[in-house]
Amino acid sequence: MNTPHSYTTSWPSSSKYGKLIKGLFLAPEGYIYAGSDYNALEPRVAAIISKDIALRKILLEGYDSHSLYTSVYFEDELRERGLPNGPDITAAESLIIKEEAPDLRQNSKAVTFAMAYGGTHITVAKSLGVSKERAEEIVSSYHALHSGITDYYNIKTTEAEEDGYYSIENGLRLKAPGLLSLDQVVVEKTMRSATNALFQGFGMLTVESMNKFQQQIEDADMHFRVQMINTIHDAVYLYVEDDADTIKWVNDTLMPTMCTEFVDGQDIPLEAELDIGYSWLQQVTIANGVDTDNIASVLAECAEEEDKDADDE
């Protein structure tokens, strides 16, 4: 099959350009455009590696994550409203916060994202428009909630100061000479970059899955029916023959390949699902293990949607 080259863009899919760009990626005649990405890969890896209690609650017990963060960042504000508060709320109470305090929950997102990517109390103060002292309290509550991750970072940094590199669980080593700098700004920048890499380095699970899946394609003599065309972060994109049996083979083969255990004793599974359609823009998610009748029905819906879009143009 002669297929066009695929190019990626840095524009987020939610931007005004997202739909326009995605709409340019069409499957060749006789094929569909398919993709699969991991569900919350970094948090799952972090929970597995660090044994962090809060992350395990979110992933295993059905907590609304942003409400759990809200319960510790804005404990006093929730208490004043008579709502559940504090790190010991239940999963059900987290849903109450989601329903009754959407404003505080929205504010908590800015804090969580900032802290997840190396932000400081300065970042939090600017995001929320609060004092330095209040921002420091919020940052402290984040680290207290995620004591497992904080302890893991500290252990790895101590090791790196002695070894000269951060050792990632999958065998990678990240050199960190900046830790020995006399400039504290350089030291802190090095620590932020390195600690992010401790979990983000597991993005290579996507590449490992692609290598294994390509071998499965060749072993099954499916290379004219299934072609991997691209990867973006933790996602894999493919052209797949427009046939329910072929799509089922991909779904039944790629998902288990992506979701295999990567450490001994792993008790939090990796999750991924397959999206299919006739373009990157029009994608429908199918469940793992779904039968061919369901897939055929989804394909019919996708074709109908594509025809509708063509008529609108």
pLDDT truncated to tens, each residue of the chain (313 aa)?
Answer: 333 333 333 445 556 777 888 888 889 999 999 999 998 888 899 899 999 999 999 999 989 999 999 999 999 999 999 999 999 999 999 999 999 999 999 999 989 888 877 778 898 999 899 999 999 999 999 999 999 988 998 999 899 888 888 888 777 888 888 888 888 888 888 887 777 778 877 778 899 999 999 999 999 999 999 999 999 888 999 999 999 999 999 999 999 999 988 888 888 999 999 999 999 888 899 999 999 999 999 999 888 877 666 555 5
What's the pTM value of the predicted model, to 2 decimals? 0.79
Residues 304 and 272 in one domain: yes
Residue 25, in any domain of the structure:
yes
58 and 134 assigned to the same domain: yes
Whether residues 219 and 261 share a domain: the answer is yes
Q: Has residue 2 been placed in a domain? A: no
192 & 281 share domain? no
**Statement to judge: residues 71 and 196 lie in one domain:** yes
Does 260 map to a domain?
A: yes
User: Is residue 110, in this structure, part of any structural domain at all?
Assistant: yes
Q: Are residues 98 and 183 in the same domain?
A: yes
Stated as kind and residue range, the H or E segment containing 53 is helix 53-60
How remote is the C-alpha of 77 from its chain's centroid?
30
Are residues 52 and 58 in contact, defined by beta-carbon separation less than 8 angstroms?
A: no
Q: What is the pLDDT of residue 13?
A: 59
Domain at 133, CATH number: 1.10.150.20
Same domain, 105 and 167: yes
Q: What is the dihedral of CA 293, 297, 303, 309, to 10 degrees?
A: -160
In terms of residue numbers, what domain contains 283? 18-42+203-312
Q: Quote the number of domains for the chain.
A: 2
Per-residue model confidence (pLDDT) at position 2: 37
Strands 31-38 and 272-277: antiparallel
Please tell me whether residues 125 and 105 are part of one structural domain: yes
Report the pLDDT value the prediction gives residue 310, as an integer from 0 to 100: 59
Domain for residue 6, yes or no?
A: no
Per the CB < 8 A criterion, the answer to whether 232 and 22 are in contact is no
Pairwise CA distance, residues 2 & 253, whole Å: 24
* One domain for residues 66 and 188: yes
* Same domain? 57 vs 197: yes
* CA distance linking residue 25 with residue 33, whole number of Å: 8
Q: Given 201, 233, 268, which residue is the final one in a domain?
A: 201
Phi, psi of 121, deg, nearest 5: -65, -25
CB 195 within 8 A of CB 49: no
Whether residue 215 is contained in a domain is answered as yes
Is there a single domain that holds both residue 182 and residue 194?
Answer: yes
